[in-house]
Structure 1
């Protein structure tokens, strides 16, 4: 991966300036999304949108944005969807090649808090270990066991722990090895049937280099598998089997190395492919495709060689598939379907997908202007049952994080105790930024600063491995 740069994703509208003399239009707030550095995919942590807002005659102006590096994903205040969230009422739905055709009506979805929809899948864990190390969830190991990274400082993993949500206890899986390499960071972790694996490197160093480690799922001392340089060190995703460690690279292609060490081998027929979760590889990698808008068009089973073509509907945008279900945007709605285009349905008001985990699609939640309506920050939609579970909240400030496993994580979490508060004061309008050539305003205006308070004790965790099976 190349040097990390800051990239803005304009997705969130914030209702602002209650004290303004005229009704205030929605405020477009920029959510920063960092590109990952060279070999290290860092945690899905975030830039907050709690910025400084000023109002002049009904116009809301962002004065500043404040970074939130706590690992709780996207944080926002009074979040509302962009203007493309209008509801659709049935309309002809044109399918791509191999689709199912016909006229389809949107599904009506009742979104309720995750703890109501899947009470067995929701639990709380401490934000910090007893020694003060901060926990960052990785993924679920089972319905009641979670893999956590305990960090001595931001994104600096000190050990891996297994947390049991049933008896609220944790055990150390392994202590992260001291590599002796200055500026070394562990990348993302991957759970296989027998091992937990990860890669690491020196993201602040110009050398193109990465190494790989494994530890038994039962715990123990981590073992170094090997190292790679050059293009092979630009790791995007990782997989581990009982015999091999496999990884894909930023330019496409999948490689493997025996767990006992040895020479890396490129798997034939993987040009342009990126690992999803073993044994699946797909034709769109992380960070590729016009800010995530490029459609995935095929999946390849690297064990059997079978290729599955994805029937993307006409107008589809940002389609991503798991083994059985696909999610993507079409105009004002999310589209849910199987890879061949069957079982297709529309979810009006949903959008800005955040990933696919097996049968679950993680997406932006619809917004309601009703003052007492439940408005989550995200929705997890179960394509198999049609149930929709809300994550965190948008009103009053909310945040979320997704587990830092290499393949799609089964964990979504947030700090329910954290709130955003707004502090306002009257200021001279001439202090406000304005477009070049605009008239200088006069008089006093209300200027408000948002900040986060509370929280820091517990994360609420949704573990999708604990959602009841449909079988």
Structure 2
């Protein structure tokens, strides 16, 4: 049985993922599709005349941005496409100039006027691009950029593009220039820019102003804190259901939901992700290993919405197909989209489609409109 709060596949690509089995005695959670039906829709994996496409971010409540970047198998250029989920109509917003070749959109951020993204993938060097939200020419901000092969997060300020991975922060002027690197310190991870969490000193620090906020009053093990909210594993008791604790960073407003903490903070300071709950310490209990990674929730996930207090299980159908049948990644695996907020989820659906869950489109109850 997995120890609580221990990731079975953190940072490891998923192969031959096993669909988990519900633990006897654990609570039966409602289906996420029934709890939040308005958040679900499908988009094609392939568009004639364009090629393979992947959802990366919502441009508004009904329009999703699709990226076409795999130009190895054909002569097409990378492109960004808007897709209306109500009508099924699409429009090419921009096509990369000659020489602007990339594979994957690693992270994407929206400003009032622009779409800005970090692209890369072996064997292409990483690049930063921008384009108008309404369509137009792509412009290259920086390439090649030094740094990791993966990107934990990004932010766009008034003047800069900032991204981070494994204790290092990189930045480049929005107008273009040479990227600069700086360290965020040992044992720190950035929850959302500019706030970094330090497990050893039990505080969060603003990397721009140096403001510190003490998180010592927050309950739970293996905590992950953002600027306002923290997530941790409730201290387990023998034969009790495992739970995840959500609290404000000052220790107030404590609430729990059933699950196994996976050392990931709240997405957009609102949504918690975990593995399904277990009965802690039960002899012969079922091991539940959904195969998490840095960009995946594995093949099943518990989703908690702090704003409405609702908890549900996202358990996509196990699509029996292979990559050669048109699937772009492992069947049944829930991927976290490139949207910097982490609130766009996608997985394979039948008939060569992506199933999408737009968490930011869920009415936010007491939190107000946070999109």
**Fold-level similarity (TM above 0.5):** yes
Mark the CA change 1:462 to 1:377 in structure 2 (over 3 Å): closer, same or farther: same
Aligned to 1:410: 343
Asked if 1 retains the 8 angstrom alpha-carbon contact of 2:259 and 2:276, the reply is: yes
**Deviation (angstroms), 1:381:** 0.5
Shift of 1:221: 1.6
Q: Identify the match of residue 355 of structure 2 among 429, 454, 460.
A: 460
Tell me whether 1:196 sits opposite 2:111 in the alignment: no
Is there any run of 5+ residues in structure 2 with no aligned partner, and where?
237-241, 280-284, 286-298, 321-330
Aligned to 1:220, the other structure's residue is in SS state coil
Whole-Å Cα distance in 1 between the matches of residues 105 and 352 of structure 2? 26
* Residue 302 of structure 2 is aligned to residue 382 of structure 1: no
> Relative to 1, partners in 2 of residues 1:393 and 1:160: Cα closer, same or farther, differing over 3 Å?
same
Give matches, 1:148-227, under 5 Å: 148-152=66-70, 158-179=78-99, 185-193=103-111, 194-201=113-120, 203-204=122-123, 210-227=126-143
Higher strand proportion (structure 1 or 2): 1
CA distance in 2, matches of 1:153, 1:31: 34
Instruction: Please state whether the residue corresponding to 1:111 is helix, strand or coil.
Output: coil
Kindly report the root-mean-square deviation, in angstroms, between the aligned alpha carbons of the 2 structures: 4.1
Separation in structure 2 between the aligned mates of residue 135 and residue 229 of structure 1, nearest angstrom: 24
Unaligned runs of 5+ in 1: 1-9, 13-29, 36-44, 50-75, 88-108, 285-293, 370-375, 417-454
Matches within 5 A, 1:439-454: none
Match of 2:59 in 1: 141
Distance 1:120 1:114, change over 3 A: same
Deviation of 1:48 after TM superposition, in Å, equals 2.6
- Describe the SS at the equivalent of 1:152: coil
2:272 aligned to which of 356, 361, 364: 361
Which residues of 2 match residues 194-343 of structure 1 at below 5 A? Answer: 194-201=113-120, 203-204=122-123, 210-227=126-143, 236-252=152-168, 254-265=169-180, 270-271=184-185, 275-277=190-192, 279-283=193-197, 297-301=202-206, 306-311=211-216, 313=218, 316-317=221-222, 319-330=223-234, 331=236, 332-343=242-253
8 Å contact kept, 1:134–1:152: yes
Task: Give the corresponding residue for 1:435.
Answer: none
1:375-402 CA distance string (max 9 Å, x none)? x921210122211132124789872323
Q: Residue 120 of structure 1: SS of its match in structure 2?
A: helix
Find the aligned partners of 2:336 and 2:78 in 1 and give their Cα distance: 17
d(CA) in 1 for partners of 2:20 and 2:150?
Answer: 38
When normalised by structure 2's length, the TM-score is 0.70
Provide the C-alpha distance between the structure 2 equivalents of 1:395 and 1:265, rounded to a whole number of angstroms: 44
What's the TM-score, normalizing by structure 1?
A: 0.57
Q: Is contact 1:234-1:250 (8 Å) kept?
A: no
Deviation at 1:408, TM superposition (A): 3.4
Q: In structure 1, how many angstroms separate the alpha carbons of the residues matched to 2:342 and 2:65?
A: 10
Secondary structure, aligned partner of 1:399: coil
Q: Give, in whole Å, the separation in 1 of the partners of 2:357 and 2:72.
A: 23
1:48 is aligned to 2:16: yes
| Compared CA separation, residues 393 and 238, structure 1 to 2 (3 A) | closer
* Residues 1:396 and 1:219: Cα distance change in structure 2 (over 3 Å): closer
CA distance in 2, matches of 1:275, 1:409: 14
Q: Does 1:392 align with 2:308?
A: no
Distance 2:15 2:201 in 1: 27
Structure 1 residues 381 and 116: alpha-carbon distance in aligned structure 2, compared to 1, 3 A threshold: same
Secondary structure at the aligned position of 1:116 is classed as helix
Distance 2:190 2:73 in 1: 23
Q: May I ask how many residue pairs the two structures share in their alignment?
A: 324
1:345 equivalent to 2:242? Answer no
Secondary structure of 2:337's counterpart equals coil
Cα–Cα, structure 1 residues 265 and 152, in superposed 2: closer, same or farther, change >3 Å?
Answer: closer
Alpha-carbon distance, 1:132 to partner: 6.7
Cα 1:351/1:247, change in 2 over 3 Å: closer
Checking the alignment, whether the CA contact within 8 Å between 1:139 and 1:403 is kept in structure 2 is no
Q: Does the 8 Å CA contact 2:318/2:332 hold for their aligned counterparts?
A: no
User: For 1:25-174, what aligned pairs fall within 5 Å after superposition?
Assistant: 35=12, 46-49=14-17, 76-80=18-22, 111-131=29-49, 133-152=51-70, 158-174=78-94
Residues 135 and 203 (structure 1), Cα distance of their counterparts in 2 relative to 1, 3 Å cut: closer
2: CA distance, partners of 1:295 / 1:171: 49
Q: Distance in 2 between matches of 1:174 and 1:240?
A: 20
Residues 175 and 79 of structure 1, relative CA distance in 2, 3 Å threshold: farther
Pair 336,134 (structure 1): closer, same or farther in 2 beyond 3 Å: same
* CA pair 31-190 structure 1, distance change in 2 beyond 3 A: same
Q: Is the 8 A contact 2:127 2:140 kept in 1?
A: yes
